[in-house]
Amino acid sequence: MSSTPKKTLTLTKKSSPADSSTPARQRSGARARQAQQMQRLRGDDTVAAPATPTATPAHASRSKAAAHTKTASRPTATPRPTAKKAPSGYASPRQAPKADAPKRHRIEGPKIQARFSAKRDDEFTVFAPCPMGLEEALATELSALGFAQVSQGRAGCHFVADWQGVQRANLYSRLATRILVQMSFARIQNEDELYELAYQTPWENWFGAEQTLRVDTSAIRSPFQSLQFANLRVKDAICDRLRDREGARPDIDTVRPDAKVHVFLNEDSATLYIDSSGESLFKRGWRHDKGDAPLRENLASGLLALADWDPNSPLIDPFCGSGTILIEAAWIALGTPPGMWRPFHFERLRHHDARAWQDLKDEARANIATEIEVPLIGSDLSPAAISAARSNLARAHLHPDTIRFEVNNALNVQPIASKGWIVTNPPYGERLDDTDDAFWSEWASHLKRNFAGWKVNVITSDLELPSKLRLKPNRRFPLYNGPLDCRLFNFEMVAASNR
C-alpha cells in the first residue's frame, strides 16, 4: 500500500515592493500636540526618517541574500536640521501654525457688534460672584483693596482691574467665590450668534491646544431652550478657532481643566469670561474636617463683616463646630491673605509671570503679623468637633495657642471681657430638634445674665429664633448657607434685657 504524502501549508511573509515606503505611525493626544507645537517653535518642522533598505525578493536564494546583506551599504539618513533654542514657557499667542496644519474652510457667521479683551496690559471688566446677601460687604472689601468702578450686582460685584489686580483679588478677597475676567460681550438673539461671539474671541492669547478646557454656562431669563446646547456651541467655537489658528483642538476635561470658560446669558446678550480662580475661593486649602452643617469659609468671613467685628476685640463662638468662623477671624486679625496657600487657574494660562506672582505673595507674607493679642475662644459639646477644629487650626498655618478650642456647653461659657462679640452658627435644622424651645430660652437667660455689653450675632434657618430667645434683633440680614434660606440676627445685650 502506497502512502499518500501529507499536504502542508507554508506561509511566507510577503515582502514590500522596493520602491514603496510605509509611513510612520502618527501619535495623537494632547501631549503629542504639545510636543509638535514646541517642535514647531524650534523651527524643527521636518524630522528626517531613516531610509528603508531595499527588500530582497522572496524567491532569492539564501546565499544570495546573505551576500547581498554583506555587500549592501548602510543607507544614510538625511541630516537633522540644526534646531533653534526652545523658548521658555508657552508659545507666543500669535505663533503661526505649521504650513501643513489642517485648515477648515470657514463659512462666515452672522455679523455681531462685540467688545473684546485680549491683551494682558489691558484693563478688564471683572465680576466677582459671592453668596447672596454679601454683595454690599464684598463691594466694601473690593473698594478697600483699591479697585476702581466697584458696583453691586446680583450675587456679586463688578469692578475694573489690570491683570495684576486680577491676581490681587484672588489673593486677598475673603468674600468672593471666584474672579471672572470678561473676555467678550455682545447682544445676541440665537445660538449661531453665540457661536460667532465665541469664535471671534481671541482665546489663543490665554490658552491653546496643549491645555485642557471646560466650559460652564449660566443664565437668567435667557430665551434659549437648552443651556446644554448653548454650552456645546461655545465649546465648539473655541475649539474651532484654536484648530484654525494652531492646527489642533484642546481636549475637554470637566474635572481638572487647565482653562475654564464661563458663559453668562440673559434675555438679549452673552458675556464670556475666563475663570482666573479655578476652584472656588472659599476653598482656602486648610479645611479637611468639616463636621456637621459647615459654613463655607467666605460666608464665615461675611458673618464677621456683617457683624462689624473689631479684630482688636474678643470673639467667642459657643457652637464652633470645626472652627471655621474663628479660623477666618484669626486670619483677619493677623492680616493673612486667604489665597496664600492655594493654587489658582491663572497660573496655568499662557504667559503666566511666575516671578511677578511670587513677588506679590512675598509682599503679602511680609505683612502677616506673628501673633494675636485678643482672645479667640471656641467651644462645642462634641469632642469630635473640637478635634476637627484643632486639626484645621494646624493646617491653617496657625499656632495652637492662637485659638482656644474646648469641649464645653454653651450654657457654661463665660465672658472674658466687659465687651466683645459672639458670632456663631448654632445647631438648627437637622442638627437640633426644632421643638427644643427650652434650650433657647435657657441660652437667652444665660446671655442676658452674663454678656451685658456684648454683641451677639446668630445665623440660623429658624426664622422664629428671636421669638424663642425673647430678644428683639437690631438688624437681620438675609443669607444663604448652601441651599438653606437663613438670617443673620444681630442682638445687643443689655442687662436683664427683654423684648
Which tens digit of pLDDT belongs to each residue from 281-295? 999 988 876 656 579
pLDDT average, residue stretch 249-268: 94
Q: What is the mean pLDDT of residues 381-409?
A: 95
* Residue 96 pLDDT > 60: no
Residue 9 has pLDDT above 80, yes or no: no
Contacts of residue 96, defined as CB under 8 A and 6 or more positions apart, other chains included, come to none
pLDDT at 483: 85
The pTM of the full predicted model, rounded to 2 decimals, is 0.76
Over 80: is that where the pLDDT of 496 sits? Answer: no
Give the pLDDT score at 427. 84
pLDDT tops 60 at residue 273: yes
Cα separation, 195 vs 263, in Å, equals 11
**Gyration radius from the chain CA atoms:** 33
pLDDT higher than threshold 50 for residue 389: yes
What mean pLDDT value characterizes the chain? 82
Which residue shows C-alpha cell 466697584? 150
C-alpha cell at 61: 536564494
pLDDT surpassing 80 at residue 42? no
Confidence of residue 81 (pLDDT cuts 50, 70, 90): very low
What type of residue sits at position 313? S
Does residue 160 carry a pLDDT above 90? yes
The per-residue pLDDT for range 441-461, each reduced to its tens digit, is: 999 999 999 999 999 999 999
At residue 142 the predicted structure's pLDDT band, cuts being 50, 70 and 90, is very high
pLDDT band at 396 (very low <50, low <70, confident <90, very high): very high
Q: Measure CA 193 to chain center.
A: 28
3-state secondary structure the chain: CCCCCCCCCCCCCCCCCCCCCCCCCCCCCHHHHHHHHHHHHCCCCCCCCCCCCCCCCCCCCHHHHHHHHHHCCCCCCCCCCCCCCCCCCCCCCCCCCCCCCCCCCCCCCCCCCEEECCCCCCCEEEEEECCCCCHHHHHHHHHHCCCEEEEEECCEEEEEECHHHHHHHHHHCCCCCCCEEEEEEEECCCHHHHHHHHHHCCHHHCCCCCCCEEEEEEECCCCCCCHHHHHHHHHHHHHHHHHHHHCCCCCECCCCCCEEEEEEECCCEEEEEEECCCCCCCCCCCCCCCCCCCCCHHHHHHHHHHCCCCCCCCEEECCCCCCHHHHHHHHHHHCCCCCCCCCCHHHHCCCCCHHHHHHHHHHHHHCCCCCCCCCEEEEECCHHHHHHHHHHHHHCCCCCCCCEEEECCHHHCCCCCCCCEEEECCCCHHHCCCCCHHHHHHHHHHHHHHCCCCEEEEEECCCCHHHHHCCCCCEEEEEEECCEEEEEEEEECCCCCCC
- Cβ–Cβ < 8 Å for 465, 441: no
Q: Which amino acid is at 154?
A: R
Residue 306: pLDDT over 80: yes
Most confidently modeled range among 11-25, 27-41, 437-451: 437-451
Q: Are 273 and 183 in contact (CB under 8 A)?
A: yes
Angstrom distances, CA of residue 23 to CA of 14, 18, 26, 51, 247: 18, 14, 9, 11, 21
Residue 287 pLDDT: 82
pLDDT higher than threshold 80 for residue 114: no
Using one digit for the tens of pLDDT, what is the confidence trace for 412-425?
Answer: 999 999 999 999 99
So what's the pLDDT on residue 186?
Answer: 94
Residue-level pLDDT at 90: 36
Residue 149 has pLDDT above 90, yes or no: yes
Q: Which of 78-92, 127-141, 176-190 has the lowest mean pLDDT?
A: 78-92
d(CA 252, CA 258): 10
- Is the separation of the CB atoms in 282 and 290 below 8 Å? no
Q: How confident is the model at residue 97 (pLDDT cuts 50, 70, 90)?
A: very low
Check pLDDT > 90 for residue 29: no
Higher-confidence residue of 453 and 24: namely 453
| 134 band by pLDDT with thresholds 50, 70 and 90 | very high
Cα→Cα distances 448→310, 337, 380, 454, 494, Å: 22, 36, 20, 10, 7
Between CA 165 and CA 25 the distance in angstroms is 47
The domains of the chain, with CATH numbers, are 114-275 (3.30.2130.30), 297-337+369-492 (3.40.50.150)
Q: Which residue has the higher pLDDT, 93 or 320?
A: 320
The span from the CA of 467 to the CA of 437, in Å, is: 10
pLDDT at 353: 94
CA distance 137 to 300: 12
Share of the chain above pLDDT 90, in %: 67
